[in-house]
Amino acid sequence: MENKKEMRAWLDDMNLDHPLVVAGPCSAETEEQVLKIAHELKDTDVNYFRAGIWKPRTRPGMFEGVGALGLKWLQKVKKETGMKVCTEVANATHVKLALEHDIDMLWVGARSTVSPFIMQEIADALQGTDKPVLIKNPVNPDLALWLGGIERIYSSGVKNIGAIHRGFSTYEKSKYRNNPEWQLAIEFQNKFPDIPLINDPSHITGKRDMVFDISQAALDLNFDGLMIETHYDPDNAWSDAAQQVTPSSLVQIMRDLKIRKETDAEVEYQNALNNLRAKIDVIDNQIIGLLGNRMVASDGIGALKKKKNVAVLQSKRWNEILGKMVLEGQDHGLSEEFILKMFKAIHQESINHQEKIING
């Protein structure tokens, strides 16, 4: 899919002096709840009021949303507050009903994006609409799958498209509900700079006290906006209580966020930046050289193991290395999360080298 500047038109036409803000409850619970939150947000910088009415849940028996009834509540939000409204759609019926009720923007959730069949069904139902459609990343870190979903929507004739970065599931221990995997989002931006990219700090963190930090990190990476779950009584919300913030907290978050300049033309700044980047380039080349040397040593170990018919994986040795490197990393100001991720990648490459030699 080629870069299409028309995809940004819906956002550019809004002429915002701040990033796009989408806010509202994870789930529409009652008409009173929806309207109360909307009225508390109507005079803020929120551009779209969001509420989930169809909620895909991991296990049956959990609250799965109020269904189509919630569309009437969103219509009432528009009438009483003048705010634009949006909701998640997960199949063709949802799309049809949402369009019939003049919902201003739709988004496709992470659980839907993983299935090309579901995405095609949604794309067919959306055919020709001028409503903005946002596509969340799939639950697993698969850039091709994410882009495939966007391509299906675009091919149906929808031109007003955006993407939502909500983080990715992982089996590893993490402080996040869904790991942000920022590098993948950056790769998305590099490949498709004309597709607006919205960050969802609520689903990335799973904790309201982390929402600000992730929001700021996203803005520092030039994201186009934020989707933040907001509830007047978050502790008693019917779904995702821990990650929702109050309307007053949301206002404070928006007030405290810093919008960074893309660059600074000042000569002194440019010279200092170029000097530091030159140092990084030298160090990066050294890192590659050291990694290459490490793999040469791994090849030697592989040859020894082949000669003595020894298994590639030596768990005790690996655990010792990992524990030592975590402590070394801490001494150099490196997070445990980073060290684990980096050395697991190095270890996997080392195993690949040894296996190639042993089985070659």
pLDDT at 3: 56
Q: What is the largest CA-CA distance in the chain?
A: 78
Q: What is the pLDDT of residues 81-97, one digit of tens each?
A: 999 999 999 999 999 99
Between 17 and 214, whose confidence is greater?
A: 214
The answer as to CATH 3.40.50.2000 being correct for domain 5-256 is no
Of 3.40.50.970, 1.20.59.10, 1.20.1730.10, 3.30.930.10, which CATH number belongs to 267-359?
Answer: 1.20.59.10
pLDDT at 49: 98
Q: pTM of the predicted model, to two decimals?
A: 0.85
Long-range contacts of the stretch 110-118 (C-beta < 8 A, 24+): 110/136, 110/137, 110/138, 110/139, 110/166, 110/203, 111/56, 111/139, 112/56, 113/137, 113/138, 113/145, 113/146, 113/149, 114/138, 114/139, 114/140, 114/145, 116/148, 116/149, 116/152, 118/90, 118/91
Answer whether residue 30 shows pLDDT above 70.
Answer: yes
Q: What is the pLDDT of residues 131-167, one digit of tens each?
A: 999 999 999 999 999 999 999 999 999 999 999 999 9
Question: Is the fold of 5-256 the same as that of 267-359?
Answer: no
Rounded mean pLDDT, 327-335: 94
Please give the DSSP secondary-structure letter assigned to residue 58: S
pLDDT at 262: 80
pLDDT at 138: 96
- Could you state, in order of their start, the residue ranges of all structural domains in the chain? 5-256, 267-359
Asked which of 5-14, 80-89, 98-107, 222-231 is least confident by mean pLDDT, the reply is 5-14
